[in-house]
Structure 1
Amino acid sequence: MDESVVVSPDWLAANRDRPDIRPVDVRDAWEFDAIGHVPGAASIPFDSYRDDSDADRGTLPGADAFASLLSAAGIGPGDTLVAYDDTHGVFAARLYLTALEYGHDDVRLLNGDYSAWSREYETTTAATEFEATNYEPHPLDREESPLVGREAVEAARERDALLVDTRERDEFAEAHLPGAVRFDWREAVDDETRRLLSEGDLEGLLESHGITRDQDIVLYCNTARRISHTYVVLRALGYEDVAVYEGSLTEWIAMDGEIETGAS
C-alpha cells in the first residue's frame, strides 16, 4: 500500500522524531488530554474543520479557517501530516481530504487508529506547545480537486460512471442515487487489528462489489465523512479516477434529485 498515503504505526514510530513529521489527533480535545495521545501530536478536533454554518452537511471549513488551525498547531507547508482518530480512521480521513483540498503536499492516514498505536507504542497525556506559524493555503483548482458538485455528478451519470455509496445497508435501502453500488466503508477495516485489510484482500473486496481501478468512480455518503475514508483507501491502492461528491446525498435530496430505494 502506498506509504505516501497510508502509513503504519511502525512507520510513525520509526519517523516521529523527525521535525517534519507531525501527528495530528482529530479526536475530541478531552480525549486528547485525558485518555492520551501520540507523543508530539497536535490536537485538531474533527468539529473544528467542519463548516459551522453548514452543520447538516458537514462541508469544508474554508481555506482560511483551516489555515488558522494549522498555524495554531505550528504546522508549516513542508511538514508531513499523519492524521489519526480512534474510530478506524474515518474522521482522520476527513482531515486528509481537507488538507489535500487546501493544497498541503504531504498528508497521510495512520493505518489503524489511536487504539492500534497504543497497543504497541508509548502514549502521553502531557501537553505539547507549538510555535505558531503563518500557514498559507493553496486550494486546488477545479481540474485538480477530487471534490465535485451536483452538476458533475449528473454528468457522471450521463457517461455511466460508477456511483459508489459508502453507507450502511439500511441507509442505502431507504434512499440512494440511481444505479449506485453499495460499499460500506467499514468493510475495508479489520475490527480486531483496527487496521485496513491487506492490499490483496482490499482488491478482492472491491472487485466483489464491482469496483475496479479501470472505472470512473464517484463516491458519496450523507455528509462527506465516510467517503473520505474510502477515497483514501482507493488512493492508497493506486486508483486514479476517483471523485468525491462533497454535498453527498444530503444535498442531492435537498435539491430534489432522483433517488431509488431498496437494499443492495
Structure 2
Amino acid sequence: MDETVVVSPDWLASRLDEPAVRIVDVRDAWEYDGIGHVPGAVNVPFDSYRDESDVDRGTLPGADAFADLLGDAGIEPDDTIVAYDDTHGVFAARFVLTAIEYGHDDVRLLDGDYSAWNREYETTSDEPDIERTTYEPDPLSPDETPLVGYEAVEDALERDAVFVDTREKDEFEEARLPGALRFDWREVVDEETRRLKPPAELEDLLEDYGITPDREIVLYCNTARRISHTYVVLTALGYENVRFYEGSLTEWLAHDGEVETGPVDT
C-alpha cells in the first residue's frame, strides 16, 4: 500500500510531534470534542467542505472556501495532511479528494478510523493551539484532475471503460449507468480490524470484479462521497487510469442521461 496515499496508525503515531504533519478530524464537532480525537488533530467537519447548491458542479466547496478552511485550521500548502473519521474513512477520503483537487500535494488517508486508532493509541479532548495561515489554493488543471463531467462520461460509455457503482444494491437496481457493475465501497474494509484488507487480498477482490489496473475505470455513486474512498484505495494500489465522476448519478439524472434498472444476473 502506497504510504504517500494511505498511512497506518503506526506511521502516524511515530510522527505526532512533527510540526509539518497536520492531522484533520472530519467528524462533527460534538464527536471531536465529546468523544475525543487523535492528539494534535484539528476539526474540519464534513459538512464544512460540501456544497450541494450547484448540482452541475457536484458537491465541491470551491477553491477559495476550501482554502479558508485550511487557513483557519493553521495548515500550510507544504504540510503533510492525514485525514480520518470514524466511518471506515469514507468521509475523510472525501476530504483527501477535495484537497487533491485544490492542489494540496501531500494529503493522506489514515488506514482505519478513530475507533481503530483508539484500540492501540491514546486520544485526547484537548484542542491544539492553532495559528491561522493564509492558504493559497492551486487547483488542478483540466488535464491534471481525475474529475470528469457529464460529457466525458458520455464519451467513456462509448469506450471499453469499466463503470463502477459503489452504492447499495437497492440504489443500483433503482437506476444505474448503462453497463455499470456494482462494487460496494465497504468491501475493501476488514470489519473486525476496521482497517483496509491486505493489498494482495484487495487486488484479488478487485480482479474478481474485473476492476484491474489495465482498464479505464470510471467511478460514480450518488453525490461522490462513497467513490472518494474507492478512488483513494485504487490510487494507493497503483491504479493510474481512474476517473472520478464528481456529479455522479445526481448530475446524470438531471441531464436525463440513459439508465438501466432492475437486478443484474451474477
TM-score between the two structures when normalised by the length of structure 2: 0.97
Unaligned runs of 5+ in 2: none
Deviates more, 1:171-180 or 1:54-63: 54-63
Name the Cα RMSD after superposition: 1.3
Question: Is the 2:56–2:247 Cα contact (8 Å) retained in structure 1?
Answer: no
Q: In the alignment, what sits opposite 1:104?
A: 104
Change (3 A) 1:231 1:118: same
Query: Which residue identity is paired with 1:46?
Result: F
Secondary structure, aligned partner of 1:82: strand
Query: Equivalent residues in 2 for 1:68-217 (5 A)?
Result: 68-217=68-217
Secondary structure, aligned partner of 1:23: strand
Cα deviation, residue 196, structure 1: 0.5
Cα deviation, residue 24, structure 1: 0.3
Query: Which residue identity is paired with 2:237?
Result: L
Q: In the alignment, what sits opposite 2:221?
A: 221
Secondary structure, aligned partner of 1:33: helix
1:153-185 Cα deviation digits (max 9, x unpaired): 001111121111011111111110000111110
Question: Is the 1:56–1:223 Cα contact (8 Å) retained in structure 2?
Answer: no
Secondary structure, aligned partner of 2:163: strand
Query: Which residue identity is paired with 1:195?
Result: R
Question: Is the 1:116–1:194 Cα contact (8 Å) retained in structure 2?
Answer: yes
CA distance in 1, matches of 2:130, 2:232: 28
1:31 pairs with 2:44: no
Cα deviation, residue 54, structure 1: 3.9
Aligned length: 264
Query: Which residue identity is paired with 1:207?
Result: E
Q: In the alignment, what sits opposite 1:66?
A: 66
CA distance in 2, matches of 1:159, 1:176: 17
Query: Which residue identity is paired with 1:90?
Result: V
Question: What percent of counterpart residues are identical?
Answer: 73
Cα deviation, residue 129, structure 1: 2.0
CA distance in 2, matches of 1:231, 1:263: 25
CA distance in 2, matches of 1:41, 1:147: 28
Cα deviation, residue 50, structure 1: 0.5
Change (3 A) 1:148 1:83: same
1:179-203 Cα deviation digits (max 9, x unpaired): 0111110001011100001001100
Question: Is the 1:38–1:123 Cα contact (8 Å) retained in structure 2?
Answer: yes
CA distance in 1, matches of 2:159, 2:117: 43
CA distance in 2, matches of 1:189, 1:93: 13
Query: Which residue identity is paired with 1:228?
Result: S
Cα deviation, residue 254, structure 1: 1.3
Change (3 A) 1:56 1:40: farther
1:99-156 Cα deviation digits (max 9, x unpaired): 0000000000000000000110010011222100000000000010010000000011
Secondary structure, aligned partner of 1:15: coil
CA distance in 1, matches of 2:46, 2:254: 25
Question: Is the 1:104–1:138 Cα contact (8 Å) retained in structure 2?
Answer: yes
Query: Which residue identity is paired with 2:190?
Result: D
Deviates more, 1:231-240 or 1:15-24: 15-24
CA distance in 1, matches of 2:58, 2:48: 11
Unaligned runs of 5+ in 1: none
CA distance in 2, matches of 1:216, 1:236: 16
Question: Is the 1:190–1:196 Cα contact (8 Å) retained in structure 2?
Answer: yes
Cα deviation, residue 57, structure 1: 8.3
CA distance in 1, matches of 2:130, 2:46: 19
Q: In the alignment, what sits opposite 2:241?
A: 241
